[in-house]
Structure 1
């Protein structure tokens, strides 16, 4: 799939979250602004309405009080009742009471007003808001002399009606604002999220395909356009670096293949050209011993013995070197390997050389791993062989094979012994070819066994390390990954 096809697929299926986020942010922001504006306008309307209602009721009260002075002065309830009846023109007035100076009721509006709908006694001049409307008391005076008190109460329906109208208006405004924001957000998505998504899609497509030939399309000269230019420049440098790396890898691979061919030629030479002279030296040394045995003194026989031993050691070094080289070139055969069964098979192979020794084996339950059975057999044969060899001088040799659980999920198997051990300051030399920490006169060996162990384990994608203490013993750890990758032969 091309880079452009991958970008289109990415934008089609992966851009939903960012578009939803952008639209949600715009809707929330606009909604918050609309709600805050409406709340402010509602507060202003409430304050203004209350103030206007008070002013209107005060004005109306002053008019009615002024017109009622004559009725109170001449004790004419009918005239007062007629004056209050004029309030029927104002539908917001629900109750009106005219009190005498002694506080008794003089006239009512409406005429059938219930006693529970108005105060039994007049209060001081002023107004107050009640749950069912606005109420006010006005003192009726003539020439500065109080004649009575007027009580007026308006209905709260006007406020409720105003709030209902305002709520409907608010719903219309919010719906219109939401529709407008939706349209604007769709446009902004094309201008803002579109270029970002295109750039992200190009980056992901290049990362998945490892194809750096494509470039992100520049959709404008704004900040996103600058980002696109920078991205394309970075991709260009990355493509050049990748091309240079491929050339270097190709050259190194060619050099490595040439070195492998030279190593194979060297191995062939070692196998055929060096073995023949060694066989001749060993054979003639044996014939010389047989021919001169009666006439040689002890010193001469020792010389011939040294020649034979050195020849045998040289042959062993050649065999170990060839085996070491073979383990680096052989193709891995991955299959399930039961380590418990493998260890038991290896232990059987050591029974012959352990007949006269007291060895205590402690083998814990071991896991099944994936790897090359023959190569892993060589790993644990070398490790157990070292444990058997370096515990030779112990009256009771103790060899333990178990597992530990590391945090990264590897399968880690250890081989612990109570043998000669080693000094940790030389641990870096332990796994080197022909590197030995003990002299041949103490323990035989060529110094290739542990190097072979490390090479095989590394080819399985694992690790190997050791801990030790002189005279106390050593422990060797082999860490194998749970999913072992296939690897090319090592040189």
Structure 2
């Protein structure tokens, strides 16, 4: 009824009008209820009095069995325009004489009922005994409509409507004049606040028009504007200093960023050069070691052969480390060629390749539905190769390697995962998991260089995604990763 955003003028007007309306409605309702009850009581008394008169006049007609006289007595009721029916019953309860107004077509009761008068929905009616001395000669039946009551109520309703209309008009005129004294200072204060808000000019001041509570509010508002103006001046001075400091800071950040980029490029170039230059000596060591093993095996004793085998094994591992380091350094310079890639096909091919490498070892690899990805095919394939080969490598000590590959959607992101039943790892060493040359198992337990997961993390980071893992020692591990781009076919799979 009174909405929160309704202007205060309209609210005051509505409050006054609604209050006046509620008072008038309650008054009129009480008046109508009182008139209805009192008029009904007076009508019943008048009908009862009329019945007594007619009953007294009808005693002679009943005593001498003169229906004509009884009809004449009843016909006198024509003067009472609200009497619609009247009847005289003899002592045996038979209708002796009756009167019926032309507008009444309802039949008379076959026998008289209990004495007394009552009020029904559309009429007053009842029965009056006709007695002579101590002897009951018969019964008088009277029926009157409620027209008189409704005519009176209609008249009162018309008067009430006029009173309500005049009262509302008077209340409207009075409220319109009185509310100006309340709302004008408030509206002036509102206009000042709006001017300050729109122009951000805190030098504006509200004019004090009254000395009541609104005047106190005006003084407080002006004091607040003064404080804000003073604080703004101080803030502007501080802002100028902050802007100058930020500019110097941004310049230093830009310089440091440029230095870091140059350092990264130099580091990548150094890593590539070192790795590339080390490959030739390592190959020479491995090659000469093979020559010693194959051509001079008969000359060397068992200890010498063991040492040569150690040289070959470590030179091979060193070569693998150099190759992985080269691959890792190339990722920093590689530009991604992203397009719609079938992850399902990539994983299926890699799994078949790994099965052929593993030979007859019992494997159970389950591949769920894998939506397409918007990614670089070459690097994404490298991710899956590393993850699948790791899952099979770290579960080779089990009777059967069980690997599950799938995907799911969470918080609007598509997440791929690979789960194995292998050796797992202790989560307290999780921060070392994706580091370069960081290993959570010894070389004797599982071969490797410790670069594979670092490469996987770097590839996924270049795709704008992230990778994480969950594991328990000797209970397996699960690796999850996301990619920033999702193909249209992946979207369709998720929606279905």
- The verdict on a shared fold, with TM-score over 0.5 as the criterion, is yes
Quick check: 2:20–2:168 contact (8 Å CA) kept in 1?
no
Tell me whether 1:440 sits opposite 2:422 in the alignment: no
CA deviation digits over 1:11-40, x for unaligned, max 9?
xxxxxxxxx976x24234432564488679
The residue number in structure 1 matching 2:460 is 457
Tell me whether 1:475 sits opposite 2:475 in the alignment: no
Question: 1:29-428, aligned counterparts within 5 Å?
Answer: 29-32=11-14, 34-35=16-17, 163-173=164-174, 190-198=191-199, 217-218=201-202, 220=204, 222=222, 223-224=224-225, 226-227=227-228, 230=231, 233=235, 236=239, 239-240=243-244, 242-290=246-294, 292-406=296-410, 408-428=411-431
Of 464-473 and 253-262, more deviation after overlay is shown by 464-473
How far, CA to CA, are the matches of 1:217 and 1:329 in structure 2?
55
The residue number in structure 2 matching 1:126 is none
CA deviation digits over 1:244-297, x for unaligned, max 9?
542343133122112112213312321333223223323333344455333222
Quick check: 2:268–2:332 contact (8 Å CA) kept in 1?
no
Of 32-41 and 292-301, more deviation after overlay is shown by 32-41
CA deviation digits over 1:206-263, x for unaligned, max 9?
xxxxxxxxxx554536435644665682782664564354234313312211211221
Quick check: 1:401–1:414 contact (8 Å CA) kept in 2?
yes
Of 423-432 and 359-368, more deviation after overlay is shown by 423-432
Cα 1:36–1:474 change in 2 (3 A) is: closer
How far, CA to CA, are the matches of 2:408 and 2:22 in structure 1?
69
CA deviation digits over 1:51-100, x for unaligned, max 9?
xxxxxxxxxxxxxxxxxxxxxxxxxxxxxxxxxxxxxxxxxxxxxxxxxx
Quick check: 1:218–1:229 contact (8 Å CA) kept in 2?
no
**Please, which of 429, 433, 450 is the counterpart of residue 432 of structure 2?**
429
Cα 1:179–1:370 change in 2 (3 A) is: farther
RMSD: 4.1
- SS of match in other structure, 2:336: coil
**Aligned-pair CA distance for 1:41:** 11
CA deviation digits over 1:443-491, x for unaligned, max 9?
110011112222222333333222223333221122345669xxxxxxx
How far, CA to CA, are the matches of 1:379 and 1:181 in structure 2?
75
Q: Can you give the 5+ residue segments of structure 1 that lack an aligned partner in the other structure?
A: 1-19, 47-113, 117-154, 199-215, 485-491
Quick check: 1:26–1:181 contact (8 Å CA) kept in 2?
no
How far, CA to CA, are the matches of 2:255 and 2:369 in structure 1?
47
How far, CA to CA, are the matches of 1:177 and 1:444 in structure 2?
94
Q: Can you give the 5+ residue segments of structure 2 that lack an aligned partner in the other structure?
A: 29-78, 82-154, 206-221, 488-496
- With CA pairs under 8 Å and 6+ residues apart, which has the higher RCO, 1 or 2? 1
**Aligned-pair CA distance for 1:323:** 1.5
- SS of match in other structure, 1:351: helix
Quick check: 1:30–1:181 contact (8 Å CA) kept in 2?
no
The residue number in structure 1 matching 2:125 is none
